[in-house]
Amino acid sequence: MSEETKLREDICKLAKSIFDRGLTGGSSGNISARLSDGTLLMTPTGSSMGFLDPARISHLDTDLRLLSGDEPTKEVPLHSAFYETRSGTGAVVHLHSTHSVAWSMLPEVDSDDVLPPLTPYSIMRLGKVKLLPFFLPGDAAMGDAIRGLAGKRSAVLLANHGPVVAGRDLWATVFAMEELEETAKLALLTRGSDPKMLSASDIRRIEQEFPT
């Protein structure tokens, strides 16, 4: 099996898992992954993650021109900004996951460090997550906002919209995205109950042992 064939199948397999577990619904959310030649595979515009066809995945060249497959998601600028600014990026996942979106709308959320330090895993897999302001879906300004972070963040939360995560490969990126959503869920479940958070020294130890 070729690298491209396997990656196409993995995109569809993981996308279906995401959809089946209700982490994004309808035709929302998108995934991209980079092949070793620098070209990108990306989920098509208007497609549902639960019903993707490997043969119809968009294949874009290094200048983001369509080589084959259906037209890509309108969020191409969002994905490409991560590839441009984080050299080790092998995949990008964007969802409209419920708990993350809900968390993005709360007034007490720290825009520079969205997720509270409830467990070590969000720190290990995501580092600090930046809250970005609301943009219209498909707005190229989202890409500009990502570039403005100069590659320092592997994940952002778009206000009233959803999370975006970049990682070294497709599987690691999906796992990190799931951690973001689970941490947002925990934050909502414990909101107002004064949960015991990880201490600053705990966080430093985690960051030293598991750099993002």
For residue range 103-153, what is the model confidence (pLDDT) as tens digits? 999 999 999 999 999 999 999 999 999 999 999 999 999 999 999 999 999
Look over the chain and give the mean of its residue pLDDT values, rounded to a whole number. Answer: 97
For residue range 49-79, what is the model confidence (pLDDT) as tens digits? 999 999 999 999 999 999 999 999 999 999 9
Query: What percent of the chain shows pLDDT beyond 90?
Result: 98
For residue range 182-206, what is the model confidence (pLDDT) as tens digits? 999 999 999 999 999 999 999 999 9
Provide mean pLDDT across the span 171-177. 98
Domain encompassing residue 22:
3-209
What is the tally of structural domains in the chain? 1
Q: Given this model, what pLDDT does residue 19 score?
A: 98
The label of the residue with tokens 């290094």 reads 62
Q: Given this model, what pLDDT does residue 33 score?
A: 98
Q: Given this model, what pLDDT does residue 154 score?
A: 97
CA 45 to chain centre: 17
The strand pair at 91-94 and 130-132 is best described as: unpaired
Q: Given this model, what pLDDT does residue 83 score?
A: 98
The label of the residue with tokens 């972070």 reads 149
Going by pLDDT thresholds of 50, 70 and 90, the confidence category of residue 84 is very high
Q: Given this model, what pLDDT does residue 211 score?
A: 81
Q: What is the CATH number of the domain that holds 167?
A: 3.40.225.10
Whether residue 164 has pLDDT greater than 90? yes
Alpha helices in the chain (DSSP H): 3-20, 76-85, 98-104, 120-126, 141-147, 170-190, 200-209
- How is residue 198 annotated by DSSP? P
Report, as residue numbers or ranges, the catalytic residues: 75, 121
